[in-house]
Amino acid sequence: MTAIALALSAALAWGVADFFGGVEARRRALLTVLVISQAAGLAMMAGIVIVRGDGPPPATVALVAVAGGVLGAGSIAAFYAALARGSMGVVAPVTATNAVIPLAVGMALGERPQLPQLAGLMAASIGVVLAAREPGGGSEDHRRSILLALVAAVLLGFTLVMYHRGAQQDLIWTVAIGRLTSFTVLFGAALAARASLGAPRGAVGLLALVGVLDVGANLLFAASATLGYLSVAGVLASLYPVVTVALARARLRERVSAPQQAGVALALSGVGLISLG
């Protein structure tokens, strides 16, 4: 029961963070949104590490955490860029198909997917195609948002693989080092681009909340997968797009076409089947 509650809490935290992060990405420079939110998440993890008081983790944990942080930086940058350009009701479910990556990695390591997983892979693929279609051929921004969402899905899938490997030995250090790495990458990109990192006080507070929710969701998901079954944690945490889509409809009045709605439903169903198989 605890593992289920943690996974559902992770889905809620990710969904809320993605909505408000996407809203802010439409209002301000992408690197501003990313650096401020990442800094808040890093501050939270630094506090947890200090309070816990344990020494540095083994090199194997640090290496996979760094890899996860680099991949995670690319994933969240692509995801927020997609949310800034396209409909959240389409982008979020497309990105949720990242569940395909852990499945593919497992197959490469000798695992054989069961029938539900194969069905989920097919459903997710068809769902992405339907969700990506827009009446009249779609705008350039729409097409780019779908491409960015797919890039985010691939990078996020590999990020979760890295974090899962590290968390099996040390959950806190894995997430902390991963967040330090992603912040460093994004802050370096901001310096190279000479991007302004200033924002109004209200925006800074909201972006800090986004960063805390995001890193908190990482901790909740990893803890859930450690306490219970990874497959169960995966399917429950994959419900985060439902939260994002619900907020987008309630607050932004977003609407999607009937074929896109069918695609979203198929994509989410596919994610569930892949995780449960």
**Residues 45-93: tens digit of each pLDDT:** 999 999 999 899 999 999 999 999 999 999 999 999 998 888 887 888 8
Q: 173 with 48: CB under 8 angstroms?
A: no
Residue 234's pLDDT is 67
Which two three-digit tokens encode residue 2?
């605890």
Tell me the C-alpha distance between 208 and 124, whole Å.
32
Which two three-digit tokens encode residue 273?
């089947």
Residue 76's pLDDT is 94
Tell me the C-alpha distance between 195 and 20, whole Å.
21
142-158 average pLDDT score: 90
Top pLDDT among 106 and 105 is at: 105
pTM of the model: 0.84
Residue 20's closest CA among 253, 249, 255, 210?
A: 210
Which two three-digit tokens encode residue 31?
């690197």
